[in-house]
């Protein structure tokens, strides 16, 4: 049965999630767990959908129309069928080509889809021209990624929704991180969601596309298509299976002081974006208070004069800064790599230790649950985390680059847990090992070289001449703020 708009939905949170939350409230601290593999991140979201009783709020920069994207979408429909209120909030920049999936979801009376900061033209050449004519506004994107069930359990981090984020892609998988939380922090994620959901720059899907007339037959056909697909792990189709999985996951929760910080949507996206946003200010404060070590893991890494000058002032003492990012061979966007390449020498001259991920990194076997994908494919870095003194963890959707500092809406968690901070720090250092990454240094002739153990490579490794040339030419352009 499909519940109509006027029919009551379940008004009380599910007893299972309530009990799990109450059991951990005595400590007075948030309960958290890292979701390090894409498979765990996928199954956690799927299981939470099955236990949802009242509402699901999902906010994403990208939701792909692929196997995992369709599976989670189908379970949102199933949740809405049993009376759960579902709200899906998407950034417009990646909606094109997936409209039919979102229209199907929006056709269900229990599901509402909204789009943040949409372009005025919806397809064809006009859509791309709007990126030029509306340049300032279009560059303000909702990069936040949160998933909240019944206001009690939430997931925030770096992952979008798609096969490559969930260890399901046969050739390319992302190394990424999320944090699962129970309790008050999930409520903070809801406030993050509401800020964008109610923004004047967020529009209902039906305002942008013709309302779909999909009905029971369409939902049944969609469900049948999803059930015919194969996945790399048993999926929690039933509430009992979901609860069993979540009980195991929740048993690994850690209590620690933590806070959620998010950037509010811009009141006027066309206004100049020249001031660091809330999440950037939180990062700056942590840098200011760092004692001995900062470890950075960022898919896209761009530090320019302002940030490097601040680091220079901090490095007057014994502060070591090391960063892991993508190599040109693993970066999914040559443009973004070119912005990093433009400032790479300056970062090295500042004393920052730089490591670039190798596409054949054996660390893939630890990070990606689908082992076959590691043997025949590649791994790319998509995670975003900074560890301070192995005591504090800054983690979420924030890349350490100018776009996250000034333009994007981001959501991060600041977790003061030596246990979680050390775990991420150890993993970053493992990824920096010679078998997993190339270290970039300046040699005695002041030239950039890449070290692979005892081997020295004079140019960016594992890529052809034209890709290197494209990156080099783009690096001459002062466009790093928009990458």
Please give the Cα distance from 434 to 375 (Å, whole number): 19
Direct distance between the N- and C-terminal alpha carbons of the chain, in angstroms, rounded to an integer: 46
| 349 three-state secondary structure | helix
Does 375 participate in catalysis according to the annotation?
no
Does 459 participate in catalysis according to the annotation?
no
Does 446 participate in catalysis according to the annotation?
no
Asked whether the beta carbons of 73 and 218 are under 8 A apart, the reply is no
Contacts of 234 (CB under 8 A, 6+ apart): none
Residue 420: CA count within 13 A, CB half-sphere? 28
Q: Which of 145, 169, 337, 355 is catalytic?
A: 145
Does 53 participate in catalysis according to the annotation?
no
Does 384 participate in catalysis according to the annotation?
yes
Q: DSSP class of residue 453?
A: T
Burial readout 189-200 (b: 16 or more C-beta within 10 A, e: otherwise): bbebbebbbebe
Smallest CA-to-CA distance from 480 within 301, 332, 257 is with 301
Please give the Cα distance from 393 to 380 (Å, whole number): 22
Please give the Cα distance from 258 to 60 (Å, whole number): 22
Q: Which of 40, 92, 150, 167 is catalytic?
A: 150
Q: State the alpha helices, DSSP H only, in 238-333.
A: 239-250, 278-289, 305-314
* H or E, element range at 86: strand 85-91
Q: DSSP class of residue 409?
A: B
Smallest CA-to-CA distance from 268 within 140, 402, 142 is with 140
Q: Which of 98, 389, 451, 481 is catalytic?
A: 389
Q: Which of 169, 337, 355, 382 is catalytic?
A: 382
Please give the Cα distance from 475 to 482 (Å, whole number): 13
Q: Which of 3, 53, 143, 355 is catalytic?
A: 143
Q: Which of 53, 108, 337, 384 is catalytic?
A: 384
Please give the Cα distance from 245 to 38 (Å, whole number): 15
Q: Any idea which residues carry the catalytic annotation?
A: 143, 145, 150, 382, 384, 389
């Amino acid at each position: 049965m499909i519940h109509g708009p006027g029919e009551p939905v379940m008004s009380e949170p599910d007893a299972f999630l309530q009990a799990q939350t109450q059991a951990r409230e005595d400590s007075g601290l948030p309960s958290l767990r890292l979701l390090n593999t894409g498979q765990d991140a996928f199954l956690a979201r799927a299981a939470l959908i099955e236990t949802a009783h009242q509402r699901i709020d999902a906010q994403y920069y990208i939701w792909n129309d692929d196997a995992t994207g369709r599976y989670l979408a189908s379970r949102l429909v199933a949740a809405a069928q049993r009376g759960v209120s579902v709200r899906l909030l998407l950034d417009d920049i990646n909606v094109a080509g997936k409209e039919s999936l979102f229209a199907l979801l929006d056709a269900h009376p229990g599901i509402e889809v909204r789009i943040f900061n949409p372009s005025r033209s919806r397809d064809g050449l006009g859509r791309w021209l709007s990126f030029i004519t509306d340049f300032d506004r279009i560059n303000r994107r909702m990069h936040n990624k949160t998933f909240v069930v019944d206001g009690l359990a939430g997931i925030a981090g770096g992952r979008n929704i798609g096969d490559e984020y969930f260890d399901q892609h046969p050739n390319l998988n992302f190394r990424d991180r999320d944090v699962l939380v129970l309790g008050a922090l999930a409520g903070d994620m809801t406030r993050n969601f509401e800020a964008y959901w109610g923004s004047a720059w967020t529009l209902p899907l039906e305002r942008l596309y013709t309302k779909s007339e999909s009905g029971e037959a369409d939902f049944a056909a969609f469900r049948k298509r999803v059930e015919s697909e194969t996945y790399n792990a048993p999926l929690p189709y039933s509430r009992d299976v979901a609860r069993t999985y979540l009980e195991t996951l929740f048993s690994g929760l850690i209590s620690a002081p933590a806070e959620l910080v998010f950037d509010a949507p811009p009141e006027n996206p066309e206004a100049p974006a020249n001031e660091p946003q809330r999440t950037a200010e939180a990062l700056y404060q942590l840098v200011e208070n760092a004692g001995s070590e900062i470890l950075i893991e960022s898919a896209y890494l761009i530090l320019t004069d302002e940030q490097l000058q601040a680091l220079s002032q901090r490095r007057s003492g014994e502060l070591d800064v090391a960063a892991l990012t993508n190599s040109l061979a693993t970066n999914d966007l040559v443009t973004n790599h070119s912005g990093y390449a433009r400032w790479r020498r300056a970062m090295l001259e500042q004393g920052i230790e730089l490591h670039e991920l190798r596409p054949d990194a054996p660390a893939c076997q630890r990070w990606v649950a689908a082992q076959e994908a590691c043997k025949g494919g590649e791994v790319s870095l998509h995670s975003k985390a900074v560890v301070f003194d192995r005591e504090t963890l800054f983690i979420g959707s924030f890349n350490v680059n100018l776009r996250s500092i000034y333009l994007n809406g981001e959501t991060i968690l600041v977790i003061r847990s030596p246990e979680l901070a050390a775990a991420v720090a150890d993993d970053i250092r493992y990824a920096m090992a010679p078998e997993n990454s190339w270290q970039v240094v300046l040699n005695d002739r002041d030239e950039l070289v890449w070290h692979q153990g005892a081997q020295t490579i004079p140019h960016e490794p594992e890529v052809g001449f034209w890709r290197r040339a494209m990156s080099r030419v783009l690096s001459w352009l002062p466009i790093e703020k928009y990458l």
